[in-house]
């Protein structure tokens, strides 16, 4: 059976796994080194995370994405995926439309790039369209303005698949592998929890809420252990980091610990990750996340407060509202909109703000408070953090974070990345 992804297109892996075939394909090609950003997105394109894209976007698609939130053919698309290069580099490598080059990463072959288009695009217009602002303090706008002179569009073929470093190797699945795993589990409905955080109990209840909403009208017999047809996929975002973010290892290991230590049953919860550099595009990024999870084979996607946002650029529930702009049938995934979960001392429990009537007594989960707890190394109450989660965070700080569970300049410079590209 064909794996149908976003836009109704079949997911096709543009990946060569045979070494001899790969060596034959790259023979004589001009080598072009690329930075980590580009390598990450080339890998995601090749495996179908960004299906129906088969390569970096051409001008017609970028322009339509910015103006219409669709590709040129009308497929819903919200964030340009581009390959940038300076005029000097283009001249140095002798690249023109019709060229095929070999992209290299860490000095080793990565992928072939069939250049079909070389173009410019107004970065201010791009920023306003995608991020709703041209403020350079916005990390996505800053990234856009830092792109080089020109953009190159064309197809990508991976010739040297990435090698995953521990502990990430336990959690890496391609879109087709995700679908096989869901089939093995017997899941008919799968809801995505998108995250770049270590889970506190508020996050845990967001996931439980989303699971119940996804299971909805299905029978209770289909929730019995060993017979579950509804599952939660925690799909962590692993990519470019900013100082103060949680370190990647802590994110993925603590999320999986919720299953490992029984806060979710083994048969209703699993953890994986997607390679993606956050753009912090708020509602536009919510659409992009829905596209990715459609390609993974999910049926539902949870969206909470401040999804993919940063600062005060977006309304707290802007990611909910944008789905009203998408024509029916253009996204093959059902959004699950959830409100904030918090602690109410009157109720004596973690509860949903849409249900609890003790508004003046409600205590939101403060990122500043949780950060100070972790930095002090004092185990908090179970109502904030599961004890096993806290222990894993502290262990990750020592093992991977140079003493801190948060990203530091030392972690950025010397930390172990999720993947590497070995010699072919």
* 103, 34 Cβ separation under 8 angstroms: yes
Mean pLDDT of 139-152: 97
Interval 25-47: pLDDT, tens: 999 999 999 999 999 999 999 99
Nearest Cα to 210, choosing from 275, 285, 299, 276? 299
The domain spans of the chain are: 6-161, 168-418
> Please, where are the H alpha helices in 167-282?
175-185, 201-215, 248-260
Fold of 6-161: Sulfate adenylyltransferase (3.10.400)
pLDDT value of position 373 = 82
pTM of the predicted protein model: 0.96
Between 95-99, 106-110, 158-162, 373-377, the lowest mean confidence (pLDDT) is in 373-377
pLDDT value of position 67 = 97
Mean pLDDT of 182-201: 96
Residue 225 pLDDT grade (very low, low, confident, very high; cuts 50, 70, 90): confident
Interval 279-337: pLDDT, tens: 999 999 999 999 999 999 999 999 999 999 999 999 999 999 999 999 999 999 999 99
Count of Cβ atoms closer than 10 Å to residue 109 Cβ: 22
Residue 191 pLDDT grade (very low, low, confident, very high; cuts 50, 70, 90): very high
Residue 1 pLDDT grade (very low, low, confident, very high; cuts 50, 70, 90): confident
Residue 376 pLDDT grade (very low, low, confident, very high; cuts 50, 70, 90): confident
Put residue 163 in one of left, alpha, beta given phi > 0 → left and psi -120 to 50 → alpha: beta
Residue 221 pLDDT grade (very low, low, confident, very high; cuts 50, 70, 90): confident
Flag whether pLDDT at 104 surpasses 90: yes
Residue-averaged pLDDT of the chain? 95
pLDDT value of position 135 = 97
Burial class (CB in 10 A: 0-12, 13-18, 19+), 264: buried
Interval 332-347: pLDDT, tens: 999 999 998 898 999 9
Between 152-161, 251-260, 357-366, 385-394, the lowest mean confidence (pLDDT) is in 357-366
Secondary structure (3-state) at 70: strand
pLDDT value of position 256 = 98
Fold of 168-418: Rossmann fold (3.40.50)
* 320, 304 Cβ separation under 8 angstroms: no
Element (H, E) at 212: helix 201-215
């Amino acid at each position: 059976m064909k794996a149908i992804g976003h836009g109704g297109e079949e997911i096709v892996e543009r990946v060569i796994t045979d070494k001899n075939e790969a060596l034959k394909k790259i023979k004589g090609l001009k080598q072009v080194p690329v930075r980590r950003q580009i390598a990450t997105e080339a890998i995601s394109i090749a495996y179908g995370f960004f299906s129906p894209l088969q390569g970096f976007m051409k001008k017609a698609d970028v322009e339509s994405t910015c103006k219409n939130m669709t590709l040129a053919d009308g497929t819903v698309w919200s964030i340009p995926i581009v390959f940038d290069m300076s005029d000097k580099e283009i001249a140095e490598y002798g690249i023109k439309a019709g060229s095929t080059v070999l992209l290299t990463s860490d000095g080793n072959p990565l992928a072939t790039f069939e250049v079909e288009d070389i173009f410019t695009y107004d970065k201010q217009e791009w920023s306003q369209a995608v991020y709703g602002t041209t403020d350079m303090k916005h990390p996505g706008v800053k990234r856009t303005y830092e792109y080089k002179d020109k953009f190159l569009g064309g197809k990508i073929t991976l010739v040297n698949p990435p090698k995953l470093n521990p502990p990430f190797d336990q959690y890496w699945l391609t879109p087709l592998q995700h679908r096989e795993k869901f089939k093995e589990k017997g899941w008919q409905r799968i809801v995505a929890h998108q995250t770049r955080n270590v889970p506190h109990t508020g996050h845990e209840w967001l996931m439980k809420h989303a699971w119940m909403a996804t299971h909805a009208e299905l029978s209770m017999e289909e929730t019995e252990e060993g017979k579950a047809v509804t599952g939660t996929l925690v799909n962590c975002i692993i990519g470019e980091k900013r100082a103060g973010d949680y370190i990647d290892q802590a994110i993925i290991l603590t999320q999986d610990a919720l299953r490992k230590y029984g806060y979710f049953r083994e048969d209703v919860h699993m953890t994986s990750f997607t390679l993606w550099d956050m753009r912090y595009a708020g509602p536009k990024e919510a659409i992009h996340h829905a596209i990715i999870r459609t390609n993974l084979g999910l049926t539902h996607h949870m969206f909470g407060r401040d999804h993919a946002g940063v600062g005060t650029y977006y309304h707290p529930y802007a990611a909910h509202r944008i789905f009203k702009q998408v024509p029916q049938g253009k996204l093959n995934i059902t959004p699950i909109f959830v409100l904030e979960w918090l602690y109410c001392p009157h109720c004596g429990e973690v509860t949903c703000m849409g249900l609890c009537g003790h508004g003046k007594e409600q205590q939101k989960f403060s990122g500043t408070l949780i950060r100070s707890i972790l930095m002090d190394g004092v185990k908090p109450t179970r109502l904030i953090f599961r004890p096993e989660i806290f222990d894993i965070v502290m262990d990750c700080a020592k093992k991977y974070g140079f003493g801190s569970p948060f990203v530091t300049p030392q972690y950025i410079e010397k930390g172990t990345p999720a993947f590497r590209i070995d010699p072919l």
